[in-house]
Copies of this chain bind each other. A is one copy, B any other.
């Protein structure tokens, strides 16, 4: 936990927060805080700063929060990614959120197994918990939007134009000749395929819809590392 993420309802006065549950356990048993200890903290959707521990007993931790700076700027990349198998899905969520992505659209594709759409990890409660953990890791306070689209073609043709209009459209396509250039802060829609890649039909469909294919180098990367590598290449700030 690089940042203690606070909710509005944690505040019991204008600057004092009461934290219980998982965050309290971590403060008490992992970080082993004591009165006077300063922790990095931030308010969900708001400012970051520090929190001074006032007390920490078996039940709860009380802290005084002081706002200091804005959360880090978002990465202007929207990630469209074929829904991966459950464990990989969680890693992709972690990776994209920790690199600053603020919108992820999980899409269907020929090689996405039907069972992946039934997983408990697609439920709101699971996602919110993972997103909060990722924000605590990367010291951000802004929750990303997560969307799911069970139809590939209608999503690309009908819905995509309304998402980030004017963004450069880039698709990671194993074996493509060109390498991802640096978009230096300009908005990008990045499409990443499933294990085994998009089908030829899907690749052609993406290219016909304004995507440029970029290669992923001579090695076959597992999905979460392909996402990390592509996001790093597309953004100069890493």
CA distance A215 to B221 in the complex (A): 24
Residues of B contacting A98 with CB < 8 Å? Answer: 219-222, 225
Q: How many copies does the complex hold?
A: 2
- A238 with B228: in contact, given A98-B222, A99-B221, A222-B94 (CB under 8 Å)? no
Does any Cβ of B come within 8 Å of A20's Cβ? no
CA distance A140 to B220 in the complex (A): 9
Q: Interface segment, A60-68, A111-119, A147-155, A229-237? A: A229-237
CA distance A232 to B100 in the complex (A): 17
22 example contacts (A-B, Cβ-Cβ < 8 A) are as follows: A2-B220, A72-B219, A94-B225, A98-B220, A98-B221, A98-B222, A99-B219, A99-B221, A99-B229, A137-B222, A138-B219, A138-B220, A138-B221, A140-B219, A179-B236, A215-B238, A217-B238, A218-B237, A221-B238, A229-B232, A229-B238, A233-B233
Return the 8 tightest CB-CB contacts between A and B, nearest first: A72-B218, A229-B232, A228-B228, A217-B238, A138-B219, A232-B232, A217-B237, A225-B228
